[in-house]
Amino acid sequence: MLLPHITVFFLVVGTSRSSDTIAVHQNISDGQTIVSANAKFELGFFSPGSSKNRYLGIWYKNTSPQTTIAWVANRETPLIDTSGVIKLDNQGNLTLVNGSGKVIWSSNSSATGTNMNLVAQLLDTGNLVIKNGNETNNEIVIWQSFDYPGDTCLPGMKLGKNFITGRETYQTSWRSTDDPSPGEYTLSISAVKGEYQQVYIRRSSAIKTRIGPYNGVSFSGRANYAPDASPASVSYVIVNENEIYITFISNSNTTTLRTVLTPDGKLEILQQKFPNTEWILISTLPVDYCDIYGVCGPYGSCNTATSPNCGCLKGFELKNSDDTSPDNGTSVCRRGTALDCGPGEGFQKFSSMKLPDTKNAVYSSNMSLSDCAVACKNNCACTAYANPNITPGGVGCLLWFGDLIDVRVFPQNGQDLYVRLAASELSDLHASFHRKKRVVMVVTLSIAAVLTLLGLILAFYIRRRWKKKSYVEREGRPKNTLNKGDSSQIGSAEVPLFSLAKISRATNDFSVDNKLGEGGFGPVYKGVLEEGQEIAVKRLSRSSGQGLVEFENEVICIAKLQHRNLVKLLGYCIQGDDRMLIYEYLPNKSLDNFLFDESRKSLLDWPQRFQIIHGIARGLLYLHQDSRLKVVHRDLKAGNILLDYQMRPKISDFGLARMFEEGESEADTKRVVGTLGYISPEYAMKGHFSVKSDIFSFGVLVLEIVSGKKNKDFVHEDHDDNLLGHAWRLYREGKPLDLIDECFGTSYSAYEVLRSVHVGLLCVQHRVEDRPDTQTVVAMLGGEGSLPSPNKPAFYIQEGEINSPSILPLLSSSVNGVTFSQVDGR
């Protein structure tokens, strides 16, 4: 029996209006909002992040305002209190005034003409428009928020330049998540007349990353460009006499997209699939070293698959032969042989490239590739050419004059680039044929024969290689045979096997920068697959000793476990001693990052925390009971609860938990794994575990979520009890509400808090049989009936009681005696 939805309640100040318009002289004050016709967007006042300042903004209606603000009016002039009022004057000027009547922000718009029927309206696109006239009477838009983008670009918004007014629109990052005033980063299209279109992310005026050029379909140059995003959206580049701009639209009724330029200068493309309200990050830029603009210098070529990443394009070499790699300063690439515009000069083709910065290029739309080659060849200053257009049959010609900058290798979605080289630098085969032109016929023929033979051998070899390779690639492609919502075919599940090379590339060779942390079973790395998907790679400790078959069986079992409150397994990797599990990546990291961090804990308000408690309980119920396998997690703790975009919890690390056979309900182990502070007494002392030992850990977690304090590190000035003892004490003294995290202030539901503390205490009872089962826990959290009184909790495990915890990998199977694997190293 699963319970219906939890009611999440937000503290709404004031009342909501259901209209989507603001009429002349109508006042909207803080607490009131206007809502677009189909309730997609809402306009009103909000405070970002942990800020107390008030801003007038537009947000997505059915998601939490903190995370999905689409537009902000008074970015630079916050209100310091809730006295703000918006009104539309009879000239069509929308103004925001504070409590003293001082104008904080205004649209500065004014209507011309006489028959006015002025109104400000919030459209379902998220655009706030001020209109004059109406459908029957020459309606014109005199102002729109879409002309003033902030950090977010919505479908239909234009970024570019109007050549008549000279006005340029671009995305600007927020200063921080708490401060929407313009930050250091901007994202803009190169809006110089005649220049080919590409997009730059700049920090102040310095280019940090270049996206593009436009390839007729989208902006190329994104390593993690997610192909599945393309059917849902189309980007357009519009160039005409008067303006140049880029825009994108969603061409699907079931998905929508937005792009955000984050305070640290990353472009994030997020997608929402209805009816889900969750935003999924489908692409980020920059993601790797090669995304740093011009990182390898002129004529350098960046490749994440090589080490070092920077090298010179073929035909170019390092200026200083002692250098190992070019970069944007010390050593640069230069031509092996200078150009002299001689007749032998030709073009070297480079495939799978991100085309160089088109700042130095000239574009002709109607030229075929062969015409393009001739045009470049005939102009001694032309250094390279390419057809940027990848649409089927699409033509176009880019001619570069000057240095080639910001080139990188893109195995999956690169394009062909033809670079001018001196005759002697052109490909050896090509050159040797040139030199041997005058050799007698017989010799030519015998060479041809040898070459043919060689070619045949080579072809045979390549074919074999190719077969092997395509097999590996086929293996590597995630297959969705599992998510049919049916787990009846255990054993036939296919879990994608990833190659070590692929994982290595995705994680930048397991670089320290990509390391997310150290879990109980080894380090965890963040990675980005070539397809763009972000992953978390758990590299299991080498000395596991577990057999291959057992490991594969376990992976298949894990893959069967699919629930919204469990982290999803995407695949695995085995190579030699290396074992890796590949999971979906969750950007908000783990619960402990918020809960126990003074600066971030306020980001989790009570409704969110209550939702997290519920989510964990439901995930646990699934593991314990609802999945075909019965799984005891054994290491439930805040560090193993990951949070998605909406702060929804997902239990992780369950993959290496113990799976029970049908009919089995408890077991003993000689290897106790778990974390101090969360581990139940019977498990710690006797190695005895069951779903009730998970329930114990869950109880600890609930009390931690309520209090924002860590059981293990808990100290109190009045007594020596741990958090459980403290909660028990408060409960007995009749003041359990004193347990709550101070950062809530008064905004919480006392009923929910009391209920949570009560359930938490029931779960941490000393006697196993006193603790409720998982289904009861879920029912109690959501229900209204009275609850049994808890008995004394087991709170004897305190730091210091366990001497010299040794760190053992869970997978080892030949350890005697009870040992703690203290996995909470953070």
Selected range binding ligand NAG among 102-110, 347-355, 476-484, 545-553, rule: CB under 6 A: 102-110
Q: Are the C-beta atoms of 551 and 574 separated by less than 8 Å?
A: yes
Q: How far is the CB of 103 from ligand NAG (least distance, A)?
A: 4
Catalytic residue list contains 605:
no
CA distances from 713 to 220, 596, 721, 774, 798 (A): 50, 10, 11, 27, 9
Q: Do residues 61 and 70 touch, judged by C-beta distance below 8 A?
A: no
Segment lying near ligand NAG (by CB under 6 A), choices 80-88, 486-494, 737-745, 755-763: 80-88
| Per CB under 6 A, 85 contacts ligand NAG | yes
Give me the least distance between CB of 302 and ligand NAG, in Å please. 11
Helices (H), 679-821: 681-686, 691-707, 723-732, 750-763, 774-782
- Number of residues in contact with ligand NAG under rule CB under 6 A: 35
**Segment 248 to 267, residues that bind ligand NAG, using CB under 6 A:** 252-253
Chain Cα centroid distance, residue 541 = 27
Q: Which of 82, 95, 177, 427 binds ligand NAG (CB under 6 A)?
A: 95
C-beta of 136 vs 378, nearer to ligand NAG = 136
Tell me the H-state helices in 355-510: 369-377, 428-435, 441-476, 500-506
**Nearest Cα to Cα of residue 57 among 605, 49, 68:** 68
- Check residue 80 for interaction with ligand NAG (CB under 6 A): yes
Cα separation, 553 vs 442, whole angstroms:
63
Parallel, antiparallel, or unpaired: how do β-strands 407-409 and 300-302 relate?
parallel
Q: In the complex, what is the shortest distance from the CB of residue 375 to ligand NAG, in angstroms, rounded to a whole number?
A: 14
What is the phi/psi pair of residue 780, to 5°? -65, -40
Nearer Cβ to ligand NAG (406/752)? 406
Is there a contact between 303 and 410 (Cβ–Cβ < 8 Å)? Answer: no
Binding range to ligand NAG, per CB under 6 A, among 160-168, 322-330, 350-358, 457-465: 322-330
- Out of 635, 653, 694, 741, the active site residue is 635
| Smallest distance from ligand NAG to CB 64, Å | 26
- Secondary structure class of 340 (helix, strand, coil): coil
d(CA 541, CA 201): 39
33 touches 112 (CB < 8 A): no
Q: Are 784 and 6 in contact (CB under 8 A)?
A: no
Check if the beta carbon of residue 511 is closer than 8 Å to that of residue 504: no
700/257 Cα distance (integer angstroms): 39
Choose, by CB under 6 A, the member of 33, 66, 68, 98 that binds ligand NAG.
98
Asked if 561 is part of the footprint of ligand NAG (rule: CB under 6 A), the reply reads no
The answer to the question of residue 205 lying near ligand NAG (CB under 6 A) is no
Give percent helix, percent strand, percent coil of the chain, each to the nearest 5: 25, 30, 45
> Taking the chain, what is the end-to-end CA distance rounded to the nearest angstrom?
37
Q: Is 134 one of the binding residues for ligand NAG (CB under 6 A)?
A: yes
User: Which of 38, 91, 452, 665 is in the footprint of ligand NAG by CB under 6 A?
Assistant: 91
Restricting to residues 353-392, name those near ligand NAG by CB under 6 A: 365-366
Q: For residues 115 and 806, which CB has a smaller minimum distance to ligand NAG in the complex? A: 115
Q: According to the binding rule CB under 6 A, does residue 47 interact with ligand NAG?
A: no
* DSSP designation for 230: G
Q: Does residue 180 contact residue 72 with C-beta atoms inside 8 Å?
A: yes
Shortest Å, Cβ 235 to ligand NAG: 18
**523, 539 contact by CB (below 8 A):** yes
- Least Å distance, CB 61 to ligand NAG, is 19
Residue 516, H or E segment: strand 515-519
Contact track, ligand NAG, 12-31, x by CB under 6 A: -------------xxx----
> Which stretch, 235-243, 323-331, 352-360, 439-447, contacts ligand NAG (CB under 6 A)?
323-331
The residues in 136-165 that bind ligand NAG, with binding defined as CB under 6 A, are 136-137
Does the bond joining 392 to the residue before it have cis omega, within 30 degrees of 0? Answer: no
Q: Is the peptide bond before 308 cis (omega within 30 degrees of 0)?
A: yes
Taking CB under 6 A as the rule, which mask of x and - marks residues 103-122 in contact with ligand NAG? x--xxx-x----x-x-----
For ligand NAG, give the closer residue by CB, 137 or 747. Answer: 137
Q: Could you tell me the smallest distance in angstroms from the CB atom of residue 353 to ligand NAG? A: 20
- Which residue from 42, 327, 644, 704 is in contact with ligand NAG, where contact means CB under 6 A? 327
Query: How far is it between the farthest Cα atoms of the chain?
Result: 107
Q: What is the DSSP string of 651-674?
A: E-SGGGSEEEPTT--EEE-SEEEE
Give the range of 133-141, 222-230, 483-491, 811-819 binding ligand NAG by CB under 6 A: 133-141
Q: Segment contacting ligand NAG (CB under 6 A): 327-335, 535-543, 551-559, 739-747?
A: 327-335
Please, what is the minimum distance in Å from the beta carbon of residue 74 to ligand NAG? Answer: 9
- Which lies closer to ligand NAG via its Cβ, residue 188 or residue 325? 325
> Of 89-97, 237-245, 514-522, 567-575, which part binds ligand NAG (CB under 6 A)?
89-97
In angstroms, rounded to a whole number, what is the distance separating the alpha carbons of residues 674 and 597? 22
Active site residues: 635
Residues that bind ligand NAG (CB under 6 A): 25-27, 80-81, 83, 85, 87, 91, 93, 95, 98-100, 102-103, 106-108, 110, 115, 117, 134, 136-137, 252-253, 292, 295, 327-330, 365-366
